[in-house]
């Protein structure tokens, strides 16, 4: 028996979604054909990506004054708008920017003053800066409010759910499609026994996960993982390759999370950063190419917990900073621009810095998230997703027409 996604329902109990008719908060739309539902992908750069190296403000002389050896050499950046330029390792992404499908959001990040990786990651993924009691990811809250409570709606390409997806609505965690199969004798009886054991279990954590896992053995078997696009062999490349297969296969995935680790460059940044950026750029470009027409219904948001210190440290590296950068990639994105709040770059001169040391944050990451949920995912009111935050369309960075 092969379960299709409509049979693949293990809806969360006692959730807000259970109290309201599913989907009522989504804007009325004409019935959609298969393969047209919008998708959002959250790609998290863990460790605090150096925003000033990823998207270089080469028009700001203070950039060069602060960074004698970790600067991107003047003239080698890939020009975006006469003031900002991509790191040279992001060359694969330049065509997407130039064709208007990739937007940059600079001086963008969290209002929290924390320079802890782990608190800052939580604050962003829970969309709750400085609230250490928050425990529900912003994308899980979206799933709940939008009534997308089938567990196939959301997946983390990892061994466990990204914090952005953690919460009352069940989501899937699949590290690799190729590993979702059973060792040993495969019989329907064996699969059904496993299914019954998990289905009938009252144990937290493992009961529903186990039942989902057994169902996925057959469901994933129906997904075509072949592609003509060559991905980098990195963990990120392989994760995005699997995610593209799920999106193209139209199994019902609407929300996805992917991690890219090791952006914490306190030393020898000039050696490590180009490799990381190349992996990011090449993997993302392969993913966008592989999605083909499905890129039109997909938005990939690239984010990190904070940017890094403007001045380089004593070891050809940089310490934890504040303001950062986000990327938004997708067919529907109004790209080809570096978007700045008020169209103003806060600047890198000492007097312009946050606490005298870091890039200021002028675009709140929640305004970016809210615009994506509203304008792309079709959520009529994004407010319930963002506790203690006033969602205002006038603060949207303008990612969509």
Partner 1 sequence: MRLRSNRTQGAGRRIGAWPLLLSGLLFLSHVACDPTIGRIQQDHVLNRMGYGPDPWSRARIQELGVNAYIEEQLHPETLDDSALEAQIAALYPVTTMPFGQSRTTFHEYTGNPEIGPGTPIRDATRAKILRAVKSKKQLEQVLVDFWFNHFNVDGLNEEARWGFLTLERDAIRPHVLGRFEDMLRATTQNPGMLDYLDNAVNFRTGYVHLGIPYGINENYAREFLELHTVGVDGGYTQEDVREAARAFTAWTITTFFQPTSTGFQYLNQGHDQGPKNVMGLALAANGGQNDGRDVVAYAAALPQTAYFLSEKLCRRFIADDPPAAVVQAAATTYLSTGGDLREVMRTILRSADFLTIADRNTRVKRPFVYAASLARAVGVADDANLAWAMSEPLQIMGEGLYRAGPPTGHPDVSAAWTGEGTVIARINLAWRAAHGEAGFGPSFQVTGTTPAEIVDQLQRQFLRNGIEPSTRAALESLVAGLPPAARVPQAAATLLASPDFLMH
**In the complex, minimum distance from the CB of residue 198 to partner 1, in angstroms, rounded to a whole number:** 7
Helix (H, G, I), strand (E, B) or coil at 318: coil
Q: Which stretch binds partner 1 (CB under 8 A): 95-103, 142-150, 210-218, 369-377?
A: 210-218
Q: Which stretch binds partner 1 (CB under 8 A): 56-64, 194-202, 275-283, 378-386?
A: 194-202
Centre a 10 Å sphere on the Cβ of residue 131 and count the other Cβ atoms it contains.
Answer: 14
**HSE (CB half, 13 Å, CA atoms) of 79?**
6
List C-alpha distances in Å: 217 to 1, 9, 196, 209, 399.
11, 15, 15, 13, 38
Q: Which stretch binds partner 1 (CB under 8 A): 83-91, 140-148, 263-271, 389-397?
A: 263-271
Name the packing angle between helices 188-199 and 206-221 (round to 10°).
150
- Burial label for 316, CB within 10 Å (0-12, 13-18, 19+), is middle
């009111």: which residue's tokens?
A: 381
Q: Binding of partner 1 at residue 270 (CB under 8 A)?
A: no
Of 112-131, which residues contact partner 1 (CB under 8 A)? Answer: 115-119
Q: Binding of partner 1 at residue 159 (CB under 8 A)?
A: yes
Q: How many residues does the chain have?
A: 401
Smaller CB separation from partner 1, 180 or 349: 180
Query: Among residues 313, 334, 352, 383, which is the contact residue for partner 1, using CB under 8 A?
Result: 313
Q: Is 67 left (phi over 0), alpha (psi -120 to 50) or beta?
A: beta
Quick check: 323 and 354 in contact, CB under 8 A?
Answer: yes
Q: Binding of partner 1 at residue 199 (CB under 8 A)?
A: yes
Q: Binding of partner 1 at residue 20 (CB under 8 A)?
A: no
Residue 357 CA from chain centroid, whole number: 27
Residue 208 CA from chain centroid, whole number: 25
Q: Which stretch binds partner 1 (CB under 8 A): 183-191, 275-283, 323-331, 379-387?
A: 183-191
Q: How far apart are CA 115 and CA 48, in angstroms?
A: 9
Query: Among residues 206, 292, 296, 392, which is the contact residue for partner 1, using CB under 8 A?
Result: 206
Q: Binding of partner 1 at residue 356 (CB under 8 A)?
A: no
Q: Which two tokens stand for residue 66?
A: 């602060």
Smaller CB separation from partner 1, 36 or 118: 118
**In the complex, minimum distance from the CB of residue 203 to partner 1, in angstroms, rounded to a whole number:** 4
277 CB-near residues (< 8 Å, 6+ apart): 53, 54, 87, 89, 90
Q: How far apart are CA 219 and CA 277, in angstroms?
A: 34
End-to-end CA distance of the chain: 44
Smaller CB separation from partner 1, 218 or 383: 218
Return phi, psi of residue 114, to 5°. Answer: -60, 140
Dihedral angle of Cα 257, 262, 266, 268, to the nearest 10 degrees: -140
Query: Among residues 193, 292, 293, 393, which is the contact residue for partner 1, using CB under 8 A?
Result: 193
Q: Binding of partner 1 at residue 271 (CB under 8 A)?
A: no
**In the complex, minimum distance from the CB of residue 171 to partner 1, in angstroms, rounded to a whole number:** 9
Query: Among residues 182, 293, 392, 393, which is the contact residue for partner 1, using CB under 8 A?
Result: 182
Quick check: 56 and 72 in contact, CB under 8 A?
Answer: yes
Query: Among residues 319, 364, 367, 374, which is the contact residue for partner 1, using CB under 8 A?
Result: 319
Q: Binding of partner 1 at residue 331 (CB under 8 A)?
A: no
Q: Binding of partner 1 at residue 250 (CB under 8 A)?
A: no
Q: Which residues pair with 364 in a beta bridge?
A: 109
Q: How far apart are CA 141 and CA 14, in angstroms?
A: 14
Query: Among residues 317, 323, 335, 397, which is the contact residue for partner 1, using CB under 8 A?
Result: 317
Q: Which stretch binds partner 1 (CB under 8 A): 34-42, 57-65, 89-97, 203-211?
A: 203-211
How many residues form the binding site for partner 1 (CB under 8 A)?
Answer: 61
Q: Binding of partner 1 at residue 267 (CB under 8 A)?
A: yes
**In the complex, minimum distance from the CB of residue 143 to partner 1, in angstroms, rounded to a whole number:** 17
Q: Which helix (H) or strand (E) holds 141?
A: helix 138-146
Q: Binding of partner 1 at residue 355 (CB under 8 A)?
A: yes
Quick check: 327 and 287 in contact, CB under 8 A?
Answer: no
Residue 187 CA from chain centroid, whole number: 38
Of 25-54, which residues contact partner 1 (CB under 8 A)? Answer: 46-47
Smaller CB separation from partner 1, 311 or 391: 311
**In the complex, minimum distance from the CB of residue 259 to partner 1, in angstroms, rounded to a whole number:** 10
Which parts of this chain interact with partner 1 (CB under 8 A)?
A: 46-47, 115-119, 132, 156, 158-161, 166, 172-176, 179-185, 189-190, 192-194, 196-207, 209-210, 212-213, 216-217, 261-262, 264, 266-267, 313-315, 317, 319-320, 355
């Amino acid at each position: 028996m092969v379960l299709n996604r409509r049979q693949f329902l293990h809806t969360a109990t006692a959730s807000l979604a259970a109290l309201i008719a599913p989907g009522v908060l989504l804007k009325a739309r004409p019935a959609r054909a298969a393969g047209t539902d919008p998708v959002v992908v959250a790609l998290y750069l863990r460790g605090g990506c150096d925003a000033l190296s990823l998207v270089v403000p080469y028009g700001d002389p203070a950039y060069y004054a602060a960074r004698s050896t970790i600067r991107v050499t003047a003239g080698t950046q890939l020009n975006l708008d006469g003031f900002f330029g991509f790191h040279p390792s992001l060359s694969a992404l330049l065509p997407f920017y130039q064709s208007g499908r990739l937007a940059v959001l600079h001086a963008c990040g969290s209002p929290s003053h924390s320079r802890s990786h782990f608190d800052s990651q939580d604050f962003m993924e829970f969309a709750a800066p400085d609230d250490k009691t928050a425990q529900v990811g912003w994308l899980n809250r979206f799933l709940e409010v939008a009534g997308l409570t089938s567990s196939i709606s959301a997946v983390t390409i990892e061994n466990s759910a990204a914090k952005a997806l953690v919460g009352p609505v069940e989501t899937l965690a699949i590290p690799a499609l190729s590993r979702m199969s059973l060792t040993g004798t495969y019989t329907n009886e064996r699969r059904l026994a496993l299914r019954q054991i998990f289905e009938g279990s009252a144990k937290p954590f493992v009961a529903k996960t186990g039942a989902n896992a057994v169902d996925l053995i057959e469901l994933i078997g129906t997904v075509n993982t072949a592609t003509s696009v060559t991905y980098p062999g990195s963990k990120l490349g392989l994760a995005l390759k699997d995610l593209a297969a799920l999106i193209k296969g139209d199994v019902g995935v609407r929300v996805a999370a992917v991690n890219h680790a090791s952006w914490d460059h306190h030393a020898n940044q000039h050696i490590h950063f180009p490799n990381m950026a190349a992996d990011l750029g090449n993997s993302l470009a392969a993913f966008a190419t592989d999605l083909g027409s499905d890129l039109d219904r997909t938005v990939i948001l690239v984010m990190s917990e904070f940017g890094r210190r403007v001045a380089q440290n004593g070891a050809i590296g940089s310490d934890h900073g504040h303001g950062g950068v986000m990327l938004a990639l997708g067919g529907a994105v109004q790209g080809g621009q570096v978007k700045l709040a008020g169209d103003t770059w806060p600047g890198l001169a000492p007097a312009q810095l946050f606490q005298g040391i870091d890039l200021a944050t002028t675009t709140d990451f929640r305004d970016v998230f809210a615009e994506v949920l509203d304008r792309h995912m079709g959520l009529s009111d994004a407010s319930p997703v963002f506790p203690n935050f006033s969602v205002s369309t006038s603060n949207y960075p303008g990612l969509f027409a």
